[in-house]
Amino acid sequence: MELKEKIANDFATRFGGEGNFYASAGRINLIGEHTDYNGGFVFPGAIDKMIMAEIRPNGCDTVRVRSIDIDDYTEFGLNEEDAPQQSWARYIFGVCREIIKRGGTLKGFDAVFAGNVPLGAGLSSSAALESCFAFALNDLFNDNSIDRFELARIGQSTEHNYCGVNCGIMDQFASVFGKKDHLMRLDCRSGEFEYFPFRPEGYTLVLVDSVVKHELADSPYNRRRESCERVAGRLGVETLRDATMEMLDAARADISDEDYRRARYVIGEKQRVLDVCDALVAGDYETVGERMYQTHRGLSEDYEVSCEELDFLNGLARECGVTGSRIMGGGFGGCTINLVKNELLEKFTGEARRQFCERYGHEPKIHEVIISDGARKL
């Protein structure tokens, strides 16, 4: 059954009648990894996997929500400060609290929601959920007076304050601003962004989720950040955003080999994002793919955040003739994002399933995605 129909039936059964429909999307990031905390660029887009909700004001001061996918239900009062127990409900509770905190209007409502963004696969189902409700509550109770960037921040603060996830702004940003056939280059320093056309005719974007997550004893993420800060300090710039390869090479004697390689990755990645933007404007998807492979290599060899499974998937992509492939996300597991010529699609996904399973004992999860609209009213 179609998502909308499923939700409508459920809503009618539980609450009677009907409400308004809203949706928001998961996201990919084509290129620009480990750049956010270096003041650099990320390059995400919303995808055709979404969270959809039917919502109707209920005239009282209670929020009543049902999750079809989790098959669960919760209620909370508008003035309640204790978050619900269920983790899925905390995202909605958090969005409500964050709207109130900002002086926005909120009234009681009934809602039913469901989605098809794979959970925990690196496609940001949580941002889709937050931005779907933030967008809807802005439309229903605030005449859309909360601007879109603030809607993204409401989602981000929800993660920080109610879900224990200390994330950046990219996921919620992509979910809120996503536009069909466009990726967005977000400048993490200024918050400015620009849309770029993404119409890869003859190619498909494929996520290959290794379903592994290596938990490391020390905190590699913090150590990467420290390396970047150390080199920036040594070069006399605020962040590596302002550093060039020439500056780095000139200071090489005073920088440890490890720090040098970390900074080389970050500085290279800034340029690769810019190259990809130019390539997209020119419709040159082969160059886009090359940069993706270069990013993977940098993440693996210089930044050292890859792992055996991801390097294996990347190597396999290359062997199959895939145009571009790289780790998507922080690394140490999760998925690769691949730009695949349509005629190679079956071969690549078949080989990825077979060979990965042979080697690691389980199949990867494969998701084809299309760049689509983000938060919206249906």
Does 126 help bind Mg ion (rule: CB under 5 A)? yes
87 binds, among Mg ion, ligand ADP, none (CB under 5 to 8 A by kind): ligand ADP
Binding to ligand ADP, residues 106-125 (CB under 6 A): 114-115, 117, 119-125
Sign of the Cα torsion 156, 161, 163, 165 reads positive
Instruction: Give least dist CB 271 to Mg ion, A.
Output: 29
Does 69 help bind ligand ADP (rule: CB under 6 A)? yes
Does 158 help bind Mg ion (rule: CB under 5 A)? no
Number of helices (H), then strands (E), in the chain: 11, 13
119 binds, among Mg ion, ligand ADP, none (CB under 5 to 8 A by kind): ligand ADP
Instruction: Give least dist CB 163 to ligand ADP, A.
Output: 7
Nearest to 32 by CA among 223, 232, 288: 288
CA atoms of 192 and 186, how far apart (whole Å): 6
Determine the size of the site formed for ligand ADP (CB under 6 A). Answer: 19
71 in active site: no
**Contact partners, residue 344, CB within 8 Å, separation at least 6:** 320, 321, 322
Instruction: Give least dist CB 127 to Mg ion, A.
Output: 6
- CB nearest Mg ion: which residue? 126
Choose the catalytic residue: 36, 171, 302, 373.
Answer: 171
Pick 123 or 208: Cβ nearer ligand ADP: 123
Q: What is the largest CA-CA distance in the chain?
A: 72
Instruction: Give least dist CB 124 to Mg ion, A.
Output: 5
Does 70 help bind ligand ADP (rule: CB under 6 A)? yes
Nearest to 366 by CA among 213, 201, 204: 204
Which pairs from 4-7 meet CB under 8 Å and 24+ separation?
A: 4/52, 4/378, 6/68, 6/114, 7/52, 7/53, 7/54, 7/68, 7/112, 7/113, 7/114
Instruction: Give least dist CB 171 to ligand ADP, A.
Output: 7
Burial of 362 (0-12, 13-18, 19+ CB in 10 A): exposed
Determine the size of the site formed for Mg ion (CB under 5 A). Answer: 1
74 binds, among Mg ion, ligand ADP, none (CB under 5 to 8 A by kind): none
What secondary structure does DSSP assign to 163-206, as a single string?
A: S-----SHHHHHHHH-BTTEEEEEETTT--EEEEE---TTEEEE
Q: Strand pairing partners for 29?
A: 44
Does 129 help bind ligand ADP (rule: CB under 6 A)? yes
Pick 67 or 325: Cβ nearer ligand ADP: 67
Query: Tokens 């098959």 belong to which residue?
Result: 71
Catalytic center residues: 171
Residues forming contacts to ligand ADP in the complex (CB under 6 A) are 51, 67, 69-70, 87-88, 91, 114-115, 117, 119-126, 129
Residues forming contacts to Mg ion in the complex (CB under 5 A) are 126
